[in-house]
Structure 1
């Protein structure tokens, strides 16, 4: 925002009331835009040379472009993770999930790792180089719900298998939240086997519903094709070519009948 503001203002002497709408659009605050305008008029700083101003504008444009590109990458990552690893993304987020996959080498490798290995991904150097207590958390500490907890609470989390639904990720995330709540309230969390039974049932229902919709869609498509073929067949009969054998036979019969009537 600062760079976009600097890029918009340029030379402060050229900033006027006409620039307020554009400035307010950048800073998203009318009062702040007015304060910037007033500050530009009362500033005691020295004037910027044309060369310095050019470099400032180029630098600001570059930073704003990189920020925009970063947003595009985030959207791409979100879309890709929802297709490749929806459960992992639901459990710990798109960015942290992608970091874990990258560090493990592949999603398959990550799925095969035990919890103790997942726990130290990204902290291997610190683990084998420590003088005293080792680092017990790696990339996963970047997850919001893990990183905000005190060090004596943070522990391990696992990633389930690959399925085209985020049901398992939602259930696993709920289990993690229940275990974190346990340290505060003492409420005993549900057993994993019970939660996974619910997840399997919901995932099965989702798969059944998706399959039902696909079958229904396929039936409609076949029905449209059959209707189109029937209509094309009727059109061919009505608008048939005069040179076809059937048409020729009908014409020969008509000619013979006409000739007999003339002879009579």
Structure 2
């Protein structure tokens, strides 16, 4: 008769319980889980505990050596994996390493873990269903009594509760620290903040131009497209155009703009048509200019942080499309793993969902690109080629995203983005009919650590095509010449026939016109004769 066992995991270690012969029939036991209470060390109404041969026994107990060991074992259990420690514990406890292992049934709470155990130990019948939960709940209620009777340990409910709490905290910290979703969340927040900063900076810079333009309107014409430089010049002037003639202010302006621009500012300040400012107005304008400068500085720091974060998270994708576009793709997909799961056709249209559904609804042409329109390769392409290069770029982005999300961190995988970028540039040149750039590996720089030479890409000129080396079969050439001559003869014959036909038609038309004129003259003459006879 086969024995029935229950695998029970605790914060202290692995437990293997053996069910008594009266409850060895697992099917009937799981049909009525409450019957296990008669085999647990609980006292009846008379105050007597069940006999030892009729109650559940703890067959084996393997405590965890440290918190790190417990954390690794719990992580494997959560993922449904069979760890080495649990594998050894089951094999030793059920005597599966013997020549003829006994037939046994193992009850497991987690179905994924049960399937992993069944694949490893095929001689064991593993059972896991919804009825196991009630059985595990009953064992957990009497866990301290079962451990005390079988091992003699004084592990109470308080100690088990403290161990469970500590293990749950460690597991939460582990998931929070190593979860790729949390790292992707940092990138999502950073790119969203970067977009907000760009909008705010544009608004603040425009407001500063309009506000200070009432006092010095000529400065906006001198510095037309430089928002940060405009704010620096306003701060250097102290909010007053009259200070431009000062030597100290001129020296400060020299550090910001060129000498030619400084002379233009000084000459424009002398003949400016702006209004004067009150001290309170000037102070608020200076505060706004300093705010623009501080936001510009923070924007630069945030862009640097985003670059370092993306270089560590998705190096190949960053090399292929750049920092900003890679961050936008990750933010739109939700995470790097979510981006890796997307097919290339979906990735190509990320950011153009509204245009896609509007085109499908109105039965018009669908868009060819979404966020990828801002990629440098798509921007370099001409109009007819943009759609093709966007499709190729989306395919390569999908591949490198999968490598970054699921691949190993070695030199071969990190160089994949650069290789794909070179191939895309050559493909773009081929589509546009330009000369392709040839890239060869040159062993130039040396690596001092291991003595190996570092390979780098060097651009060389593309070779010219030799037309003189083309060979044409003589028979084929003769046939080609004959066909050309036949075509020319047939064309000339057709032209002659057409000319003859046109001449014939013209002659017939002229004859008809002459006949009609003669008949008209004859009719007129007859009418005239008749009239004369009557008179």
> TM class by shorter-chain length?
0.5 to 0.7
| In the alignment, structure 1 residue 35 sits paired with structure 2 residue 283 | no
Q: Deviations over 1:38-65 (max 9, x none)?
A: 2112212211222322221121111111
Paired position in structure 2 for 1:257:
none
Paired position in structure 2 for 1:113:
342
1:7 corresponds, among 222, 235, 248, to 235
2:295 corresponds, among 44, 51, 66, to 66
SS class of match (1:122): coil
Report if aligned partners of 1:179, 1:189 keep a CA contact under 8 Å in 2: no
Using the TM superposition, give the Cα deviation of residue 2 of structure 1 relative to its aligned residue in structure 2, in angstroms: 0.8
| In the alignment, structure 1 residue 142 sits paired with structure 2 residue 142 | no
Using the TM superposition, give the Cα deviation of residue 212 of structure 1 relative to its aligned residue in structure 2, in angstroms: 6.4
Q: Structure 1 residues 186 and 49 mapped into 2: Cα distance closer, same or farther (>3 Å)? A: closer
RMSD: 2.8
SS class of match (1:47): coil
Q: Deviations over 1:72-119 (max 9, x none)?
A: 111111111111111111111111111111111111111222111110
Distance 2:415 2:250 in 1: 48
Distance 2:321 2:307 in 1: 12
5+ long unaligned stretches in structure 1: 199-208, 214-264
Report if aligned partners of 1:153, 1:183 keep a CA contact under 8 Å in 2: yes
Normalising to structure 1: TM-score of the pair? 0.67
SS class of match (2:383): coil
Paired position in structure 2 for 1:54:
283
Normalising to structure 2: TM-score of the pair? 0.34
SS class of match (1:152): helix
Report if aligned partners of 2:348, 2:370 keep a CA contact under 8 Å in 1: yes
Q: Deviations over 1:205-238 (max 9, x none)?
A: xxxx9x969xxxxxxxxxxxxxxxxxxxxxxxxx
- Write out aligned runs for 1:163-174 (5 A): 163-164=408-409, 165=411, 166-174=414-422
SS class of match (1:65): helix
- Write out aligned runs for 1:1-264 (5 A): 1-9=229-237, 10-15=239-244, 16-27=246-257, 29-130=258-359, 131=362, 132-154=364-386, 155-156=390-391, 157=393, 158-159=396-397, 160=400, 161-162=403-404, 163-164=408-409, 165=411, 166-185=414-433
Distance 2:248 2:326 in 1: 46
Distance 1:14 1:188 in 2: 56
Report if aligned partners of 2:316, 2:416 keep a CA contact under 8 Å in 1: yes
SS class of match (2:256): helix
Distance 1:33 1:129 in 2: 53
Q: Which has the higher helix share?
A: 1
Distance 1:5 1:186 in 2: 45
Indicate the structure whose relative CO is greater, using CA pairs within 8 Å and at least 6 residues apart: 1
Using the TM superposition, give the Cα deviation of residue 171 of structure 1 relative to its aligned residue in structure 2, in angstroms: 0.5
The structure whose Rg is larger is 2
Report if aligned partners of 2:372, 2:378 keep a CA contact under 8 Å in 1: yes
Q: Structure 1 residues 37 and 188 mapped into 2: Cα distance closer, same or farther (>3 Å)? A: closer
Q: Structure 1 residues 5 and 89 mapped into 2: Cα distance closer, same or farther (>3 Å)? A: same
Report if aligned partners of 1:78, 1:94 keep a CA contact under 8 Å in 2: yes
Using the TM superposition, give the Cα deviation of residue 129 of structure 1 relative to its aligned residue in structure 2, in angstroms: 2.1
Distance 1:3 1:93 in 2: 29
